Chain A
Amino acid sequence: MKLLEIKHLNKSFGKKEILKDVNLSLTGGKIIGLLGKNGAGKTTLIKIINDLLTPTSGEVLVKGKKVGIESKKVISYLPERTYLNKQMKVSEVIEYFKDFYDDFDADKAKKLLNDLDLDINEHLTKMSKGMQEKVQLVLVMSRAADLYILDEPLGGVDPATRDYILDTILSNFNEGASVIISTHLISDIERILDEVVFIDNGKIILHSDSDELRKKENASIDDIFRRMFKC
């Protein structure tokens, strides 16, 4: 069974078409780069998979089931913005995740936070945006999900932190699970990608195995991307 299947997906806001007849099929155990320029439709696609946007038409199936309670049980999603209730302490957020997600490992989260020198008794309001994002990443990666969807996890962070984030992702995702990483910072993640999906102007223009693509084009993914999306 496919982990994620997207069939003839369209999304419009008024007269503006954001996604146009998107078809995509992903299997388990892969790290997939969802790559595209700003405004290409990456976040819209991710938001539809996570039930944050309603498609205009088409279908999204996660392990054969439509987006809903069952799909949310197996998807661990890191959005591009901070989504935690700022009135909470980190320890309360851990409790929150523990309450709602059966696959959440609180001990793992506490260990990862400890490694980052983050105090679990601290209020989120007292933390910088970067620290809050790290807390979110830890929470998302402490779930034993089947599909991790990370929207711009490297956006706005320094190169050293990028490496830390990638290491955290690589060393913590559930065995047999897939990870979708949406980004336009391709050179930073190229080394970890098994598959790439290029999206432009609301359409999937390429879906390929990373190694095969590199061999075929005799260039890095970053170079291929630059060539394809040259302004």
Chain B
Amino acid sequence: MLTKLLKYDLKYMIKNMSVFYILTIFFAITTRLLSLPEQSIILIILYKISVGCLIAMIANIVINVAMRSWVRFRDSLYKDESYLTHTLPVSKNDLYNSKFIQAIIFLLIGFVVIILGLFIAFYTKDTWNVIKAFMETITSGVNMTIAFFLSMAIIVIFLELFNAIQCGFLGIILGHKRNNNKVANSVVFGFIVYLVSQTIILGLVFVYGLFDPTVMELFKTGTINVDVNAFKVLAIVSSLLYLFIIIIMNVICKIALNKGVNVE
């Protein structure tokens, strides 16, 4: 049943997100076409507009994945559509897992489209060499390869964004357990859950720091002039902690959902 639920959740997201993907690629192409070496003033203005639109679309993708995931979650589980969703012969766990997987998939697709858009718009051998040289400066300082640095950066950003989306899910579940002001309560609970999750991660990093002096230096000095290995460790530890928090929150969401809903 999970695959069937997922099929419809993905269809909904494709219908709503594809326009942003198309626009991102469109503005990436126009940016590329307008970035000619010798240009008239009009072409320069159009180039600037195109770059602006591309950046707006990239921001839009990230914001929209989160917003659409939350709206879909709320509409499907607590608004009119929930009269169908909750009367389907499927478990509450499957209902939640479908939304959970759908958010992961569309966050991943968003990342791919953003990287593709940036590649189309700005890639040249010279640009790449400049970026590579810049990266080498950073990575050599923190004792990492460029591939490792980029992978860790993408993983941490992905997990952070996904954690924020799931905090929103839990906020919606808790907000709809109240009898009044369900939307306002959902926003407040979502924000509180997010703050709590960040505090727990920070607390766990601190606890880890008690056993690893290189990481503890970050807390003691408050500057980045610490052992280069600390960043490498920190990137790995924070990724694992985000994963841990995401799994714990997934379980909490399912427990809360399984306790039953009160649809308006």
Residues of A participating in the B interface, judged by any CB pair closer than 8 Å: 13-14, 47, 50-54, 69-70, 72-73, 75, 77, 79, 81-85, 87, 96, 99-101
In this assembly, does B125 line the interface, its C-beta being within 8 Å of a C-beta of chain A? no
Name the CB-closest residue of B to A83.
B83
Contact indicator A75/B262 (Cβ below 8 Å):
no
Contact indicator B87/A54 (Cβ below 8 Å):
no
Contact indicator B12/A50 (Cβ below 8 Å):
no
Question: How many angstroms between the C-alpha atoms of A53 and B82 in the bound complex?
Answer: 11
Contact indicator B80/A100 (Cβ below 8 Å):
no
Question: How many angstroms between the C-alpha atoms of A70 and B12 in the bound complex?
Answer: 27
Chain B CB within 10 Å — which of A50, A52, A73, A81 has the most? A52
Question: How many angstroms between the C-alpha atoms of A101 and B7 in the bound complex?
Answer: 16
Contact indicator B88/A52 (Cβ below 8 Å):
no
With both chains docked as a complex, state the minimum distance between the C-beta of B182 and any C-beta of chain A, in angstroms. Answer: 12
Known: A69-B91, A87-B12, A100-B4. A50 touches B81 (CB 8 A): no
With both chains docked as a complex, state the minimum distance between the C-beta of B263 and any C-beta of chain A, in angstroms. Answer: 4
Contact indicator B84/A83 (Cβ below 8 Å):
yes
With both chains docked as a complex, state the minimum distance between the C-beta of B16 and any C-beta of chain A, in angstroms. Answer: 8
In this assembly, does B89 line the interface, its C-beta being within 8 Å of a C-beta of chain A? yes
Question: How many angstroms between the C-alpha atoms of A40 and B88 in the bound complex?
Answer: 27
Interface of chain A: mostly helix, strand, loop or mixed: loop
Question: How many angstroms between the C-alpha atoms of A101 and B1 in the bound complex?
Answer: 11
Chain A CB within 10 Å — which of B7, B88, B90, B261 has the most? B88
Task: Count CB-based A-B contacts (< 8 Å).
Answer: 63
With both chains docked as a complex, state the minimum distance between the C-beta of B222 and any C-beta of chain A, in angstroms. Answer: 48
Residues of B participating in the A interface, judged by any CB pair closer than 8 Å: 1, 4, 7-8, 12, 15, 80-84, 86-91, 179, 259-263
Contact of B261 (CB < 8 Å), options: A13, A54, A75, A82: A54
Known: A13-B179, A47-B263, A54-B261. A82 touches B80 (CB 8 A): yes
Question: How many angstroms between the C-alpha atoms of A79 and B85 in the bound complex?
Answer: 12
Contact indicator A52/B83 (Cβ below 8 Å):
yes
Contact indicator A99/B4 (Cβ below 8 Å):
yes
Question: How many angstroms between the C-alpha atoms of A47 and B83 in the bound complex?
Answer: 9
Chain A CB within 10 Å — which of B83, B179, B262 has the most? B83
Contact of B89 (CB < 8 Å), options: A69, A79, A85, A87: A69
With both chains docked as a complex, state the minimum distance between the C-beta of A200 and any C-beta of chain B, in angstroms. Answer: 23
Contact of A50 (CB < 8 Å), options: B80, B86, B91: B86
Contact indicator A100/B83 (Cβ below 8 Å):
no
**Can you list 6 A-B pairs with a CB-CB distance of less than 8 A?**
A13-B179, A51-B87, A54-B261, A79-B83, A83-B81, A99-B7
**Chain B residues with Cβ under 8 A from A75's Cβ?**
87
